[in-house]
Amino acid sequence: MLNRLGVIAILLVFVSPLRGFTQNLPFPPAPSQSTAGPTIAQSVYKPTKPVTHLPAGAPNVLIIMLDDVGPALPDTFGGPIHTPTLSRIANSGIVYNSFHNAAMCSPSRAALLTGRNHHRVGFGQIAELANNWDGYTGHWPATTASVAKVLGYYGYNTAAFGKWHNTPAEQTTAQGPYDRWPAGRLVGFDYFYGFLAGESSQWEPALVRNTTRVETPEKQGYHFTEDMADDAVTWLRRQNAIAPDQPFFMYWASGASHGPHHIFKEWADKYKGKFDKGWDEMRKEVFARQKALGWVPANTRLTPRPASLAAWADIPESEKPFQRRLMEVFAGYTEHADTQAGRLIDELERLGIREKTLVLYVWGDNGSSAEGQNGTISELLAQNGIATEINDHLRALDRLGGMDVLGSPKTDNMYHAGWAWAGSTPFQGTKLTAGHFGGTRTPLAISWPGKIQQDKTPRSQFHHVNDVVPTIYDVIGIQAPATVDGVSQQPMDGVSMKYTFANARAAGQKKAQYFECMADRGIYSPDGWYAAAWGPRTPWVPGLPPSIATWSPEKDKWVLYNLNDDFSQSTDLAAKYPQKLAELKQLFDQEAKNNLAYPIGGGLWSVVWSPQSAPQNPATAFHYTQDVTGVPEFAGPKVGARSSLVTVDVDLAPDSAGVLYALGAFSGGLSLWVDKGTLGYEYNLFEIERTRLQTASALPTGRVKVEVETRIAAPRGAADVVIRVDGKEVAKGTVPRTAALAFTANDAFDIGMDSYSPVSEAYFDRRPFRFNGRIDRVEIKYLQ
């Protein structure tokens, strides 16, 4: 029986002429113009002229996109953070104030790079929490070819830099498969340099070049955003030197300003004192500037703070310095990323190709993140559902060196949700709130000197990241292909925005657009009406609500807005216009079914109902040797979250030293190491609680069997740890609380070293603390 995508593929064969599909890719090779005879003397040689399938004047295309940044942050549009590059693009082109994303990283990127709605591309949820529902698999289908693959067949050279987050988590190891890596067969970029996961340390990232994992460059003052800008500039120079007549497509997507917020102290210090009044006052001040600039309509209303979010006045005075510094670090981090993006524009000008390049600066793949909740020094605390007090963070900071440590390699800090809400001014939502702007609305600036006339009037037509690819095709003068590599393509969901380039007030051409993220949802109708339903969880409220296990979407309350005179979604008209609400709910139902968004809440499956269904390593036993390092955590053994027995067969000498195995990072993880004749073990619960076990007597030498038995009674519960050497108990202790999901998003499991960020302070200055002897075998078994 054909599955749904198979039916779609068959239908496309018949409907494609009506949907603008005219080309099958790849193009057939040009036939030789020479005539072969029995001998060269009897043959006619005529060189084949190069064939181009591109219209004359096809531009270079550069997409710049930042991460987890709210619409109210850039000073370009009235915000508190200096954004010279965004201003540079805006001031040389046009801007959009009603442009939208999908409220979450992987979904927005999938839509941006394919021109389709995110569920069609399998990304109804982030890659790490994918599942087996059609719209949530995290497996990019061949029926939705990326813009890089299509343009590559047309003769473009293509490159991607920075954060990716669209490869299945279980396929990110060094063993692949590589099909869905950026430079893999299905995705089709010619070159990639960056990280595959959803976030990364900026100091010690787990990097990939094309399909090869590479070590973090050892460089004084290293920072990944600078590194990815360096690499992109080098790529531009090579491209211009080797293939100056070949157009290029570049996707430059910084990991900033996603958590952890990592930046040099001097950049954070630029903002000292600028946030002392707190998030409530920041919101009022930004709103006034937005109106003065004409960025929002004059009749826009400022939405109130939700009751579930703390007011600045509610924060104890003793905690306010911590909360202020978190925002200062974030602001410096964001300005730094925008500044690094500016180096690409500088290079285009230096090479003399700026006027040949269409630049699209998408300010955010979603809104500001409220996932830091009450403010944290280790952001995955919230994702693991572990409750803490701010005093826990302050005590850890005191031990590490004080407030100046925030933003450094010793913290994975994330700001209070109140700052994320202020960064969403004048809207209600934040990242993950797909039904409400603030989660989905993001500024867009487009510049193409000589082709697009500079105009400061904001374009207010309703548009979406799925409109970017159709716009690129329209500007180049090509159409979406009917087939790619013999596979029929799904129709485009986006529409070209080219009609707005010369006319700021052109009538909008976007049809209905649905939104859905972790059951939060919304629907836009082209007549300007918009309906939304809050899902069962609120991003800034710690933990999961007690009712979520019995939640049903039918119980959710829907609200209704008329965007024609309510830019900020401030006034719910559901009670006044019940028939209109019913009409939009029916429209959402239709769009959700057509786009594989059902079941509503499918993205919560791996979080609430079946955590073990997430695409992590399904094995129950693991067999490793010393050359196994850098295994991404989501593809490795869950020795910090599940009961397990780890057995290490190792040769020990009197001078043996180094890590036997490690999982995670300084921000959270566990490690077992040898030093000065003893064993050390640490369970680092996100820096808040560090449980250290140490053997008292000297270790034997020669062939030794070390066992670490961990018993965890319940998720997030206590762990009893027993360490044995050659069958004899040498240490034991209890870890008060454990991580249920993961320690990190982009660190690793290692044998014989601790790659990237070190788990323990015991060997922080000796990282990666490679074991100087021989480890024959490491066996890991989960225990019942």
Q: CB-based contacts of 318: which residues, under 8 Å, 6+ apart?
A: none
How far apart (Å, rounded) are the C-alpha atoms in residues 664 and 760?
10
Cα 621 versus chain centre, distance = 30
Q: Residue 360: is it exposed, middle or buried by C-beta count within 10 angstroms (0-12/13-18/19+)?
A: buried
pLDDT value, residue 645? 98
Q: Which residues, in sequence order, are bridge partners of residue 502?
A: none
Q: Which residues of 94-105 are buried (b: 16+ CB within 10 A; e: fewer)?
A: bbbbbbbbbbbb
Query: Helix or strand or coil: residue 325?
Result: helix
pLDDT for 19: 39
What is the DSSP track for 352-394?
T-GGGEEEEEE--SSS---TTTT-BSBTHHHHTT----HHHHH
Q: Cα 307 to chain center, whole Å?
A: 29
CB atoms within 10 A of CB 46: 10
| Predicted confidence (pLDDT) per residue in 671-699, tens digit | 999 999 999 999 999 999 999 999 998 99
Burial tier of 285 (Cβ tally within 10 Å: 0-12, 13-18, 19+): middle
621 strand-pairing partners: 781
Chain-centroid distance, C-alpha 5: 26
User: How far is residue 502's CA from residue 58's CA, in Å, rounded to a whole number?
Assistant: 19
- Residue 607 DSSP label: I
CB 548 within 8 Å of CB 609:
no
Q: Distance between CA atoms of 491 and 166, rounded to whole angstroms?
A: 20
Answer yes or no: are the C-beta atoms of 704 and 652 closer than 8 Å.
Answer: yes
Cα 478 from Cα 153, distance rounded (Å): 12
Q: State how far the Cα of 154 lies from the Cα of 53, in Å rounded to an integer.
A: 6
Residue 237 is given by DSSP the state H
Q: Are the CB atoms for 502 and 527 separated by under 8 Å?
A: no
Place of tokens 């710690």: 542
pLDDT at 96: 98
The candidate with the shortest Cα–Cα distance to 129, out of 758, 727, 742, 546, is 742
Q: Is the peptide bond before 599 cis (omega within 30 degrees of 0)?
A: yes
Q: How far is CA 165 from the centre of its chain?
A: 5
pLDDT in tens, 68-111: 999 999 999 999 999 999 999 999 999 999 999 999 999 999 99
pLDDT at res. 671: 98
Contact indicator for 78, 364 with CB cutoff of 8 Å: no
Q: What is the DSSP letter of 35?
A: B
Give the pLDDT confidence score for residue 616 in this predicted structure.
Answer: 58
* pLDDT for res 618: 65
Query: Please, are residues 123 and 182 in contact by the beta-carbon 8 Å criterion?
Result: no
Cβ contacts of 175 within 8 Å, gap of 6 or more? none
Q: Are 740 and 642 in contact (CB under 8 A)?
A: no
Burial label for 111, CB within 10 Å (0-12, 13-18, 19+), is: buried
What is the rounded distance in angstroms from the CA atom of residue 183 to the CA atom of residue 133?
26
Among 1, 9, 7, residue whose Cα is nearest residue 484: 9
Question: CA 168, 174, 180 angle in degrees (round to 5)?
Answer: 35
Per DSSP, the residues of 407-452 read TSTT-B-B--HHHHHHTTTT-S--TT-TTSTTTSB--EEEE-TTTS
Q: Which residues of the chain have pLDDT under 50?
A: 1-20
Place of tokens 């090869």: 212
Contact 629, 748 (CB under 8 A): yes
Q: Which residues pair with residue 207 across a beta bridge?
A: 214
Cβ contacts of 597 within 8 Å, gap of 6 or more? 119, 124, 135, 514, 516, 591
How far apart are alpha carbons 259 and 219 in whole angstroms? 22
DSSP collapsed to 3 states, 531-593 = EEECCCCCCCCCCCCHHHHHCCHHHCCEEEEECCCCCCCCCCCCCCCHHHHHHHHHHHHHHHH
pLDDT single digits (tens) 28-56: 998 999 999 999 999 999 998 888 899 99
Give the tokens for residue 346. Answer: 């500088």
Domain annotation for the chain: domains and CATH numbers: 60-306+327-372+415-510 (3.40.720.10), 529-611 (3.30.1120), 617-782 (2.60.120.200)
Residues 719, 712: Cα–Cα separation, whole Å: 4
Scan for tokens 């925008």, then name that residue. 338
Residue 234 near residue 193 (C-beta atoms within 8 A): no
